A and B are shown apart, each in its own frame.
Chain A
Amino acid sequence: DIVMTQSPDSLVVSLGERATINCKSSQSVLYSPNNKNNLAWYQQKPGQPPKLLIYWASTRASGVPDRFSGSGSGTDFTLTISSLQAEDVAVYYCQQYYRTPLTFGGGTKVEIK
């Protein structure tokens, strides 16, 4: 199985400041035939199901604000919230879909300072 490791476990950031979450996969999730990274990011607010934010490592899902961005390739990925808003308080998960089993990182909890 591909193991996804997120860091940090939690993050406290001031409103308007940048939040950066890291995700590392135990093997490359770059799919050579299309040169795309099979990596997604999800946001889960308290009491709600996860919501897809980013797929192909850097493509924002429909309706996702542009303050959310994804980057990285191969085994190392980053989710950045450029200017943290109060509504961004949530747990964020990365997920690889390079092969089954689909696997998730352990989550990063983002809070407001």
Chain B
Amino acid sequence: EVQVVESGGGLVQPGGSLRLSCSASEFTFSNFGMHWVRQAPGKGLEYVSGLSSSGGNTYYADSVKGRFTISRDNSKNTLYLQMSSLTAEDTAVYYCVKGGNPDIVGALPHWGQGTLVTVSS
């Protein structure tokens, strides 16, 4: 069964940085686009960033562009999200999501349980 497991969330002060990791298993990681989607407390889903299977195609939401960097290590089956200059508006559960194809455009069939990032002083 496909598994994606997020880690690295926690409490961080405004202006701080955090790196999320997503460990993938039970599928050929290098064949699929990967994504980060977040959900602020009590709110809906917001697409944050996506990265194609080869790493050659990326997307960032305007709300995080210039502050967040998505990357992957296909040799370690791991996806990352480096987050900096964090604000309270970045407080959310961050989901790692496996795409259904190598690209960053597609339905999102497999979601992790999420990791909570709280930005507060």
On A, residues with C-beta under 8 Å from B are 38, 40, 42, 44, 48-52, 55-56, 61, 93, 95, 97-107
Could you tell me if A97 and B50 are in contact, using CB atoms closer than 8 angstroms?
Answer: no
B88 at the interface (CB under 8 A from A): no
> Which of B44, B104, B109 contacts A100 (CB under 8 A)?
B104
B108 at the interface (CB under 8 A from A): yes
The tally of residues in B whose CB lies under 8 Å from a CB in A reads 21
Could you tell me if B112 and A101 are in contact, using CB atoms closer than 8 angstroms?
Answer: no
**A61: chain B residues within 8 A (beta carbon):** 109
B105 at the interface (CB under 8 A from A): yes
Could you tell me if B105 and A104 are in contact, using CB atoms closer than 8 angstroms?
Answer: no
Interface of A is mostly: loop
List 26 A-B residue pairs with CB atoms under 8 Å apart, sorted by A's residue number. A40-B107, A40-B108, A42-B108, A44-B45, A49-B112, A50-B95, A50-B108, A50-B111, A52-B110, A55-B100, A61-B109, A93-B44, A93-B45, A95-B107, A97-B107, A98-B105, A99-B105, A100-B50, A101-B47, A101-B59, A101-B61, A102-B108, A104-B44, A104-B45, A104-B46, A107-B44
Among residues of A, the one whose C-beta sits closest to the C-beta of B112 is: A49
